[in-house]
Structure 1
Amino acid sequence: MTNNRKEIQPKQIFNVLVNTPFSDQEKEILTFLYQPIVGAGAFSLFLTLLSEVRYSGMSESLFHRELIMLLDMGSRQLEEARAKLEGIGLLDTFVKEDGELGSIYVYRLNHPEAVESFFKDEILALTLLNQVGEKKFNQLFERFQPNYMELDEYQNISADYQEVYGFREEQLITEGPHLNEIKQAFDDPEPKRKISAVDSTLFDWAFFVSQVERFGLKLPKKVDELKEEIYLYNRLYGTDELEMLEFVKFSFDYHTNEINRKALRQIVDRSYRENRQQKTSQVRRNEEAVLTEEEQRSYRFNSLKMEGFSEADIRSIIDSETIPPLKYLAAVQKQTGGFGTGQEEKIIENLVKRSGLPNSVINILISYVLIIQKQPTLTGSYVYTIANDWAKKEIFSPEKAITYLKTKQADNQKKRQGREYSSNKRQQVVRKEKLPDWVDNPVPEEKLSTEAQEKLDREMEEFLRRRGER
């Protein structure tokens, strides 16, 4: 969200804009593919806004009070529903300040992606999968899956355009200016925003581009796709601007004068597998004072200490902040006597690219599954369920993840004690809150003995000392 967002006030005016009418197929896509993602409240908001649009494509000026009454929502609920529509690309919100009327809003409803584009877009497809589960996702895919007929044994005898209608080049020249005006009329001055997972705080794109141009290399026309890919490498492997420049130089095709993205991926992956040296990534710092790196680490350690974390917890937190997820996964697998698989790397890549969780939180998740839960490998459905739960709970720091896991463990212990009490006294104990299924599944948590707990602590200490071959 942008920083200039303000909470909606009932007396503020808004208009609804739709550039072109929605088709019946688009409404079906909205119902079956988008509604599970945004939820019933946001979907109701979308339909209500759409119902206010007249044939001209614009609604009358309305007060937010009317919208609040129609939807039976408070201002904050309305704001949350609006944000969900904006985040998935169905709504763009514009605002201007008027001296007499105050803030005036325009809500532009955007068309959903076509079915083919939706399922080809990894962000949209994965978001839907996380919301509805694999079984329902497959059912929705089957509902919209196109049926292509094999025509290899047939010959295409269709007539060409020129055969039927003809084409006069001189008319194109004379009518060219008029046709160009018509074409420009369909160019939206404020095009729909593209959904992106790019995080510009960790990679200086402008500096990278300047270095690429300095070596006489040219970026491809579809630079946004390359940008998404390079940001992903940065988050996965901790690859900085100068390292990425070297990879680009080796993957540049001087025949086509473009960067070969397939070659780039192979070079980055190969370099990661051959070089296990770990590189420190960003950590939470005190930017208000000029401190050395050592002083910054001391500041971070002391801050966590004051918050009540043990030294073992602090080492886990700092460790999670200094190692990219794939290297962290390799270190954990080596420490536990296992080895990483391509499927696990794909799972981590999807988490980095789509979950919104910081690298440090993803690392804590890896430790939880492989060390605490003692799972032999990362399983997609299990890991995605945990990640989705953490994202909804806004667990965006390693200390918050550790605190949440400890709270969950305490809740489990109380639950077990409650079952024992119910069994002994034959009384029914009613739980106040239903915990997520993955709390006890697939491996039920059991209370550790003192010896087992000490052994686990020693294993964690050994892992932290040897992490990543550092």
Structure 2
Amino acid sequence: MTEFWMELQAVDSYQVKASGILTGADRKIITMLYQPLMGAECLALYQTLFTEVEENRLWSEAHSHVQLLNMLDISLKALFEARLKLEGLGLLKSYVKTENEQRFYIYEILPPLSPEKFFSDGLLNIYLYSKIGNAQFQRLRRFFSDEAIETTTYSEITRSFQDVFEPFKGGTAAVPDESKRVLADKITPKEIEFDDASFDFNLFLSLLSPSMITREKITKEVRQTILKLHGIYQVSEKDMPSYLYRALDASGDIDIVFLRKIVREGYTIENGAPPKLQMKQEQVSTEDRGEGLNDEEALQVYLESVTPFQLLVDISDGAVPAETDLRVVEEVMNQQNLPVPVMNVLIEYVMLRLDRKLAKNYMMTIAAHWKRKNVKTAKEAMDLAWQEHEKYKRLQEEPATPKKTNYNRNYQKSTRKEILPDWFDNEQVAPADNKMTDKEKQTLEEQVREIKERLNKR
């Protein structure tokens, strides 16, 4: 997935577009059915964008993203991730153009699915069920449904237009030309559709027995159902035919509802729980996972690909990080606006120097120094930290002469301040010898081994 700072900056301009109006019922659907899947920040972004466009009916005024950040009180990364979730759930379309190195965005607001389509979607309803549980899921179904009234015993007496109104006899007055204006109307919601990029339909059809299921039975609806089941439950091309055979009804048609049911039950039995909706992570190649790399390269790849939260989890052997540590990391990132890989290097570096502890003031000082140095990648941060560490070691190696004058001592102190950044003296750290101690070597070896294991698991 693209890093957010490469695709979006706070100064980028945007406008909001709507092809129609959002009804009160739509707002209920967004709040009660979509919010559990996307979170409160996405709901706030969606409602804020729609409020902006309602001021001018179909188009909002142009603003910079700074306005959104101030109104929502969230970071640029959180705004970008909220936008991606809205796009993935079919609630937003994004367009961009670049002129003179400045980006201009258009955000088109889309309506939610109707309750009937949502609960029969075969994708969103499954993730909602997994998120909120059976009791709440059934309560929402009852909230958005009502008993149908049987009308077959009634006779329709509705009059037509011609029965009610007289023919027009007022002449041939011309209708004003409004071709340049678009009238607001209810937006037609669009269901989420999957492509077959990760599912080989040719292989699947070759494995499907024509005597059991003819090709005509694989309609567009069946095809989308197959792709959704593959996307949700990772059913392979080889396993999918057996599910379809079991889902055939008495007339030889594919019962889509039953097909979803047996696939869902099979997944739950095998995994012990229904699937959960998660944002897609960037995929790394075999080389990027650390195979064939030396220790330093493997560490660099790991710190480039992991999030600060996951890094703290890995350092703690899977334990949830302390709330205080998370607040320190978040505050440092927000104030200094460090890229995620650089923040990861900072966490690793501080924990190595301070015996697996995070000190806020110490981290903030280093982060400010790296920000002034315009450090943007994990490699740059690692190189800078190593350079400062080498300078520190060289100073420790200088022999102390007892006959040095006060002038010389003062000169040495001033020289040290010129060579090293202030953050080397902000925390008490054991002096580094010329060579690594056995304990340091063992710690580094264990760290590298753990990192390679994490890379292989990822």
- TM-score, length-normalised on structure 2? 0.46
Which structure: larger Rg? 2
Give the number of the structure with larger relative contact order, counting CA–CA contacts within 8 Å between residues 6 or more apart. 2
